[in-house]
Structure 1
Amino acid sequence: MAFGISKEELSAWKRKAERGEIAIITHFWRDDRFPNMRTVTKAACSDRQALVAWGQAYGLKSQWIHDRAPYPHFDLFGDWQCDILKAEGLEAHMYRFNICTSHVYNMEIKGKGDHADK
């Protein structure tokens, strides 16, 4: 279940993804499979190959893509979410949803793809 975003924000995210651009949105989220997670960031693009390439730059595996037409996407949470939001210049998502502050988190990432040990 998603909440904490407006219809306008969701529509803008969808339009951007439909244009073949990487569209990123963060929202509050509840899923019993992940009881400790309260937000998720979705990175979507209608061009699956572009999404794969974008994800590879961060060490994300193409198998992790949720192939849900017309918005294939990665669900990002935890350290992946924090590092990618920072790298994409989306700190506003972090502040708005008060994420990446509840645990010791190094705001200076060393570069894309540093998650090989995760």
Structure 2
Amino acid sequence: MAFGINKQELMQWKERAKQGEISILTHYWVDERFPGCDSVTKVACSDIEKLLQWGKSYGFRPEWVHERGELSHFDVFGDHQKHVLEREGLIEQYERFVNTKPS
């Protein structure tokens, strides 16, 4: 479940992905399997080949894609998250969600 974003942000992320763009959205996230990670960056694209090429540029494996049709995506967190957001020019997403707690 996504926390810390509004419906408009989520809808824009989905729409960009469905249009074949690489769409990136960060939100609060809790998963006991990943202690210390309190946010996740979702990178989606309806064009699976485009998404796989994007992932390859960061060293991500094809099997890491969560296949969800038009919203297939990589989950990026931990050490990779800041690096990806910096390279993509979206560091404000990192600063907004990493190491802060939802109010």
Partner of 2:61: 61
Identity percentage over the alignment?
51
Q: Equivalents in 2 of 1:84, 1:98: separation in Å? A: 13
Partner of 1:30: 30
Partner of 1:84: 84
1:88 maps to a residue whose letter is E
- Structure 1 length-normalised TM: 0.80
2:41 matches 1:41: yes
8 A Cα contact 1:26 1:40, kept in partner = yes
Partner of 1:75: 75
Q: Equivalents in 2 of 1:60, 1:98: separation in Å? A: 21
Aligned residues: 99
Alpha-carbon RMSD across the aligned residues, in angstroms, is 1.0
Structure 2 matches for 1:14-29, cutoff 5 A? 14-29=14-29
- After TM superposition, give the deviation of residue 70 of structure 1 in Å: 2.5
Higher relative contact order (CA 8 A, sep 6+): 2
1:11 maps to a residue whose letter is M
**Structure 2 unaligned residues grouped into runs of 5+:** none
Asked which structure has the greater CA Rg, the reply is 1
**Structure 1 unaligned residues grouped into runs of 5+:** 100-118
Greater shift after overlay, 28-37 or 75-84?
A: 28-37
- Structure 2 length-normalised TM: 0.91
